[in-house]
Amino acid sequence: MARVVFTANLQRHVPCPPCQVPGRTAREALEAAFACYPRLRGYVLDEHGILRRHMVVFVNGRPSGDREGLGDPVGDEDEVAVMQALSGG
Amino acid sequence: MAGRLLVSTRKGLFCLGPSGRGRWQVERVCFLGDNVTLTLPDPRDGLWYAALDHGHFGAKLHRSPDRGATWEEVGVPAYPEPPAGYEEKDPMGRVIPWQLQRFWALEPGLADQEGLLWAGTIPGGLFRSPDRGATWDLVRSLWEHPDRRRWLAGGADYPGIHSICVDPRDGRRVTLAVSSGGVWRSEDGGGTWACHGQGMRAAYVPPGRETDMRIQDVHRLVQCPTHPETLWAQHHNGIYHSADGGAVWRLLVPSDAFEPRDSLTGFGFPVAVHPQDPDTAWFVPGDKDERRVPLDAKVVVLRTRDGGRSFETLRRGLPQEQAYDLVLRHALDADADGRGLAFGSTTGSLWVSEDGGDAWTTVAEHLPPVYAVRWA
């Protein structure tokens, strides 16, 4: 069960407290979190399931190197953080 | 005069109402801090819609059953997955993402089209909702029209549909305007589309392309609801009028005319038409394309009451020195009887007239940048 946390700016629009979810990759963990908070999905991903341009996903503090697939492996002790990129938007 | 104003701004939705003796007050602020790009007060059922652009988090749509007291998030249009390996580029070679960027038009169907909404978006998709915004369907006939790919960006990074006119006599007759993609009309509820705009002329393309109807940058298009054959357009290169439902257009005031110029400039973004009198329309001009501020730093409204044969420059109550207000395409509106007018600027000013534009009252001077103004 990985831990998924979301930027506070996102919690202003959609309730999304930190959650413990199953998943072997960052993508699977996020999908499990979206199952808990369905409205969240459209705030993080676009209509094609791609991470929004100005969002960034960290795994244990490191930005995902696979923005499209989010295939970074995650284990029980890992934390997936969904944050805003400081690139504009 | 209608009662309230919905003012969509870069930092929230401001709902204003009269407080007596010509004064106005902010009655409610919704979505403070968020980018509200458009609102729609639906005259059929009283629901209010607010379109937001969160930047990082994408475009959203909210609906209120109680005039802004509470809001519920509803659905948003979704662009289809492009064919495998396909990357769309505009005629300039820039990639057009098949992804919702922003709501740029939101209009109701007719009274007998219960729950039907139309949405124009950037990057150029037209969508229909049959259920008050809960779900949306792409109008594929337009999206897949080969000439749609000729549209150019104008006013945003990608092409967009900013004006949707539903003919009050026949809800299947829908007219759109695109920056920069001309005027499009469907006679069959969106099943088929044709590009119109004969007479429009673009000064921003190379010689030989000026009259290409598919690249005309119409900044705003409005239709007189009681005389739907009359349409007015504020075009990038001037003020245009059509008396035949949008097929043929007549240039009334070019954007680069008159040297030495007086206040009659034809460059601007918004236009409003009188709901009962098709010959009366209002515009808020800027100086010119390369200097998008009021001419001589004086805010004025242009009004014609004779179908464009002549224009009056209205100034009473508007700032006439050191005013650099620009008024965007959705930020001018006329109320249901054509006497109430309101417009807001990118520098956060808001003016109201209760006599068809003869005199104006400054209602606000420190709002966030105003994107859209609508009577409710």
* DSSP string across B238-299: EEEEESSTTSB-EEEEETT--SS--S----EEEEEE-SS-TT-EEEEE-SBTTB-S-GGG--
Among A45-59, A73-87, B129-143, the least confident range: A73-87
Say if the Cβ atoms of B55 and A46 lie within 8 Å: no
Q: Which member of B58, B60, B79 has the closest CB to residue A52?
A: B58
Which A residues 32-61 touch B at CB under 8 Å? 39, 42-44, 46-48, 52, 54-55
Q: Which member of B57, B76, B81 has the closest CB to residue A48?
A: B81
Closest-CA residue to B74 (of B32, B28, B112, B42): B42
Q: Give tens-digit pLDDT for A16-26.
A: 999 999 999 99
Q: Give tens-digit pLDDT for B114-166.
A: 999 999 999 999 999 999 999 999 999 999 999 999 999 887 889 999 999 99
Say if the Cβ atoms of A13 and B54 lie within 8 Å: yes
pLDDT at A58: 96
Say if the Cβ atoms of B99 and A46 lie within 8 Å: yes
**Rounded distance, CA A68 to CA B141, Å?**
30
Q: Which member of A42, A44, A85 has the closest CB to residue B76?
A: A42
Pair type for strands A2-6 and A79-84: parallel
**Rounded distance, CA A81 to CA B143, Å?**
37
Say if the Cβ atoms of B78 and A47 lie within 8 Å: yes
CA distance B376 to chain A (A): 26
Interface contacts A/B by beta carbons within 8 Å: 37
pLDDT at A85: 85
Quick one: residue A57, left, alpha or beta (phi over 0 = left, psi -120 to 50 = alpha)?
A: beta
pLDDT at B255: 85
Q: What is the pTM of this model?
A: 0.95
For the residues B342-350, what does the mean pLDDT come to?
98
Confidence of residue B262 (pLDDT cuts 50, 70, 90): low
Q: CB burial class (10 A; 0-12, 13-18, 19+) of residue B68?
A: buried
Confidence of residue A86 (pLDDT cuts 50, 70, 90): confident
Q: Are B128 and B116 in contact (CB under 8 A)?
A: yes
Contacts of A85 in chain B (CB under 8 A): 56
Confidence of residue B304 (pLDDT cuts 50, 70, 90): very high
Please determine, for residue B57, whether its predicted confidence score (pLDDT) is greater than 80. Answer: yes
Q: Give tens-digit pLDDT for B193-245.
A: 999 999 999 998 889 999 999 999 999 999 999 999 999 999 999 999 999 99
Q: CB burial class (10 A; 0-12, 13-18, 19+) of residue A67?
A: middle
Give me chain B's average pLDDT, please.
94
Contacts of A39 in chain B (CB under 8 A): 73
